[in-house]
Amino acid sequence: MDVTWLSDFVVLAKTGNFSRAAEARNVTQPAFSRRIRLLEDWIGTPLVDRRSHPVVLTMAGVAFQPYAEDILARIDEGRRVARDTGIEEIQTLRFATTQVLSLSYFPIWLRSMAGRAWLGAVNLVSNSLVACENMMLNGEAHFLLCHYREGMPWQLDDERFLSISVRPDRLIPVSIPDKHGRPVYDMDGDPDQIIPFLAYDGPAGLGRIFRSAFDTEAIRPALKPIAESHLALLLGLALEGRGIAWVPENVVRSELDQKLICEAGGPKWSIPMEIRLFRSRNDLGPRAEDFWNLVSPE
């Protein structure tokens, strides 16, 4: 069944004349008549009484008319909704970001951008770095905001993706302080001390960064892993005094200022890294390209 047959039938029902209906539908009268006949064949019963002048609907035609009008109205509404949704989707800036940055940094960073230009609709997906990388590889996000260190294992190669540095950061070892303000667990302390180590699990991007800087096996048995999880849990355990964890300095700035935790080792134990924004080299569309130009260095 061709939806144009429904439009033909509705116009014929309103005009009561094959010639005027064909003219309104911009087809010849023979072609128009054939299409009405095809609709009747598809339904299985005559819809118009061709013997009367003007043309009138049969009882079946009268019964069918409101359904035909409703179907056409629903199709038109569906088309409008789909078109508007498509336009909104194209105009929405889609971000992927790691869970550690989704609450601690992304909102602040985005507000700083909003002060320079109108951003419009923004969609944010927060997940593990692996999931965020896959979103970028599959074209499901315009941008990825994450921690990054040169030399870490990485899926987004330079041939397909561009990136800019947004802010420097460090991955630092932290411990609760003792009554003198010194770390209870100190990487530069007693070399014979066994330090409980709060480690990142496999998918964690910060774990990749840590492993790209240090050979965990080489610093055992000084570090004894007692937990493996994501940043929020590891930081919670560190604040309880359960061990030492490597955390982003910018994320725990408040805890450091309040002296709830302290840096647990000298400069050689901190890992320089950065918060970095990635995008595909493919054209992202006007809104996303405008945003990239806004944040990119001149």
Predicted confidence (pLDDT) per residue in 266-285, tens digit: 999 999 999 999 999 999 88
Lowest mean pLDDT among 188-197, 236-245, 255-264, 267-276: 188-197
Lowest mean pLDDT across 114-123, 167-176, 256-265: 114-123
One domain for residues 139 and 286? yes
| Residue range of the domain that includes 129 | 92-168+274-295
Q: Please tell me the predicted confidence (pLDDT) of residue 298.
A: 62
- My answer on whether 185 and 130 are in the same domain is no
Angstrom CA distances, 294 to 52, 87, 107, 113, stand at 69, 22, 17, 8
Say whether pLDDT at 110 is over 90.
no
106 and 196 co-located in one domain: no
Average pLDDT over the chain reads 89
- Residue 211: phi and psi, rounded to 5, are -70, -25
Q: Are residues 156 and 289 in the same domain?
A: yes
Looking at the fold, whether 34 and 53 belong to one and the same domain comes out as: yes
122/288 Cα distance (integer angstroms): 10
Q: What's the pLDDT score for residue 121?
A: 83
Q: How many structural domains are present in the chain?
A: 3
To the question of pTM greater than 0.75 for the whole model, the response is no
Instruction: Give the pLDDT band of residue 118 (cuts 50, 70, 90).
Output: low
Q: Of the residues 89, 108, 140, which one is the last residue of a structural domain?
A: 89
Q: 148-203: per-residue pLDDT in tens?
A: 999 999 999 999 999 999 999 999 999 999 999 999 999 998 878 889 999 998 77
pLDDT computed for residue 181 by the predictor: 92
pLDDT at 218 over 80: no
- Is the pLDDT confidence value at 31 over 70? yes
List Cβ neighbours of 261 (8 Å cut-off, separation of 6 or more). Answer: 174, 175, 176, 177, 238, 239, 252, 255
pLDDT tens-digit readout, 48-92:
998 888 889 999 999 999 999 999 889 888 877 776 555 545 578
